[in-house]
Amino acid sequence: MDETQERMGQNGRRMRLVESEMREDWDAKAGSKDRRRQERTAGRDGRARRAGEAEPARKARGNMRAEAAAAGAEEEGTRIAAAERTRRGSERGNSESVAADRRTSGTKGEKPEMTLEQKLRARKVRRIRRVLLTFGIAALAAYSATAVYFGFHFYEGTQIYGIDCSQKTVEEVKREVAERLGDYRLEIQERGGKSEYLGADAIGLTFVDNSSIDRMLRGQHSYVWPVTMLLGRGTMDSVAFSFDEKAAASALGMLDCLNPALEVAPKDAYVKTTDTGFVVEPEVMGTTLDPARTQEAVFAAIDAGETSVSLDEQGCYVDPELYEDDEELQRVAAEKSALAKAYITYDFGDRKEVVNAPLIADWIVTRADGSFVIDDVCVTDYVEALAAKYDTFGLTREFYTSLGTTETLTGGDYGWCIDQDATIVALLNALAEGYQGTMEPEYVYTGMCRDTNDIGYTYVEVCISQQRMWCYENGVCIVDTPVVTGNPNKDNATPSGGVWAIDAKKRNAILVGEGYQSPVDYWMPFNGDVGIHDMQTRAYFGSTIYLTNGSHGCVNTPYDAAQTIYNAVSVGTPVVVYE
């Protein structure tokens, strides 16, 4: 009993802790217990009155039974206390203990009193059940509502033809698709970074409703929407549409890329000659398109709903056949470059001739085995052409006289003449060596000046009709003197109409001829026995003396003038004689 009282004290302390929360419920339960006590007391009193009214004979038995009942009650109370301690020790508030207590209570049909802890647990369970039931009903309603909603609307993140269809109906999506198709524009990417465009109107593009959007909505399976949303959003990259192929072909043909006037034709790579050798010139890709392939690529892009198409990537261009990395082209360039290493400059005074790779390229021929060699015939032709262009020996030339007139000179032995055979050999050797520098042709005859005016600026000029002679040194006239030339009336006329070169220079010479000997101090022959010399036996020069008392063909010159000319000229100096 002491243990029972102690446990009741603990329950009392728990009751005080939750007294504020359970006050109303506790009061109600306490009233019920008072009523039950009163009923039990009334029952015992009734039984006592009925026992007192019994006959005296039975009092003894009654007393004996009362004594036995009292002893049994005391024993029974002891047993009940022990059972109570066992029940509370095994599990407080356990339902099995409650059932055992009911069986041993002695009062059939009466529920035992619940402890405070059991009451608190029962109340908590009821609350949880109410919350769970409310939440379950709300969740079911929300789930059903969401399932119904997404039966008519697309999930978040759904993409159709690039359109965000989140929470949109089928009809809304179809309208937006139709509008998007109206804005369609295909970018045609061309070579050179240029782009042209074909719009929806130009190609007659229209939306075709083939129920694919409806099928996509049904495929969402909205009744299991949490699973389908977690698995991923739906995506449709293309929609059904149609376009007018004739209109599209016509619009395509109007673009600049298919305008023949604007096309750049493709060119194969080839071996190109430079000033220093040969290189492979890269191919030109050009911008010429194959119309059939271009139309096929553009129509395929439209069918696929693409927004751009690269004509280059689709192989629509007409490309060259030979490219820069072609092995044969590289071989040819290398072998020809080895033959064309020379860079030769022929010096012709105020003119130059260059033998370099572009010229040598014309001389290179291909052998039967595919190798290359310089053709000797081509070199010979080149040297002959040089001689024809630059030889002046014995050729006609125009001469501007000291009198201010122009004379055409056709004779004489002055000028330049190339030794062609020697020059050919020298040139072939230079080509083989890859020589780079200046060269001169080999000559048979040379003049004093290699300019176009090969007479130059140091020369002697004689005018027969004026019986006058001039001498120029470096362009400066140093002698202007009268002379006496050969007597034409005795067939001793001085040769004229040409240019001759001074063949020699001699001091204190004796000129011997038919019937005469003439000692001179300065002798300068220029045409065989005809030359310039002093003539100290003459007192007069010029005028018409040459017609009656002329020389045997030489140019008789006053002593001082002859001396000056002798000191100024050299062998090879040109002598111009004209009438």
Domain range for 565: 459-578
- Please give, one letter per residue, the 3-state secondary structure of 380-391: HHHHHHHHHHHC
Most confident region among 23-27, 148-152, 430-434 by mean pLDDT: 430-434
pTM: 0.57
Domain membership flag for residue 181: no
Q: For CA atoms 530, 535, 540, 545, give the dihedral sign.
A: negative
Of 144-158, 265-279, 414-428, where does mean pLDDT reach its minimum?
Answer: 144-158
CA 308 to centroid of chain Cα atoms: 18
Same domain, 511 and 550: yes
Choosing from 91, 122, 153, the residue where a domain stops is: 122
Domain membership flag for residue 448: no
Q: Which of 31, 54, 35, 53 is nearest to 43 (CA)?
A: 35
Of 10-24, 469-483, 538-552, where does mean pLDDT reach its minimum?
Answer: 10-24
pLDDT of residue 268: 95
Secondary structure class of 88 (helix, strand, coil): helix
Distance CA 394, CA 448 (A): 15
Task: Examine the pLDDT at 104 and tell me if it is beyond 50.
Answer: no
Choosing from 84, 103, 122, the residue where a domain stops is: 122
Domain membership flag for residue 172: no
pLDDT of residue 107: 44
Same domain, 358 and 426: yes
Same domain, 426 and 516: no
Structure tokens at 150: 């997404």
Distance CA 59, CA 75 (A): 23
Residue with tokens 């049994």: 72
Same domain, 574 and 464: yes
Same domain, 425 and 488: no
Domain membership flag for residue 64: yes
- pLDDT tens-digit readout, 428-477: 999 999 999 999 999 999 999 999 999 999 999 999 999 999 999 999 99
- Name the more confident of 228 and 60: 228
Same domain, 554 and 493: yes
Are 316 and 301 in contact, with CB atoms under 8 Å apart?
no
Domain CATH for 367: 3.10.20.800
Task: Examine the pLDDT at 376 and tell me if it is beyond 80.
Answer: yes
Domain CATH for 506: 2.40.440.10
- pLDDT tens-digit readout, 172-209: 888 888 787 788 899 999 999 999 999 989 888 887 77
Domain membership flag for residue 28: yes
Task: Examine the pLDDT at 40 and tell me if it is beyond 90.
Answer: no
- Name the more confident of 295 and 165: 295
Same domain, 436 and 488: no
Are 560 and 467 in contact, with CB atoms under 8 Å apart?
no
- pLDDT tens-digit readout, 513-525: 887 888 999 999 9
pLDDT of residue 262: 92
Q: What is the DSSP pairing of strand 468-473 with strand 476-482?
A: antiparallel
Structure tokens at 134: 């409310």
Element spanning 87, H or E: helix 56-90
Choosing from 99, 122, 145, the residue where a domain stops is: 122
* b/e map 253-285, b = 16+ CB within 10 Å: eebebbeeeeeeebeebbbebeeebbbbbebeb
Number of domains forming the structure of the chain: 3
Percent of the chain residues past pLDDT 70, beyond the cut: 79
**Confidence class for position 168, pLDDT limits 50, 70, 90:** confident
- The single-letter code of the amino acid at 107 is T
Same domain, 539 and 436: no
Name the DSSP letter for residue 192: G
Give the list of residues 6+ apart from residue 552 with CB closer than 8 angstroms, or none: 486, 487, 492, 513, 514, 516
Domain membership flag for residue 265: no
**Confidence class for position 18, pLDDT limits 50, 70, 90:** very low
Task: Examine the pLDDT at 214 and tell me if it is beyond 90.
Answer: no
Domain membership flag for residue 72: yes
Element spanning 28, H or E: helix 19-52
Sequence-ordered alpha helix ranges (H) in 370-499: 376-390, 420-433
The mean pLDDT value for 410-415 works out to: 90
**Confidence class for position 532, pLDDT limits 50, 70, 90:** very high
Are 266 and 284 in contact, with CB atoms under 8 Å apart?
yes
Backbone angles phi, psi at 67, to 5 degrees: -65, -40
**Confidence class for position 389, pLDDT limits 50, 70, 90:** very high
Same domain, 437 and 479: no
Distance CA 320, CA 280 (A): 14
**Confidence class for position 320, pLDDT limits 50, 70, 90:** very high
Same domain, 536 and 574: yes
Same domain, 417 and 485: no
Domain membership flag for residue 298: no
Mean of per-residue pLDDT scores for the chain: 82
Structure tokens at 329: 């082209």
Same domain, 439 and 477: no
- The single-letter code of the amino acid at 534 is D
Task: Examine the pLDDT at 145 and tell me if it is beyond 60.
Answer: yes
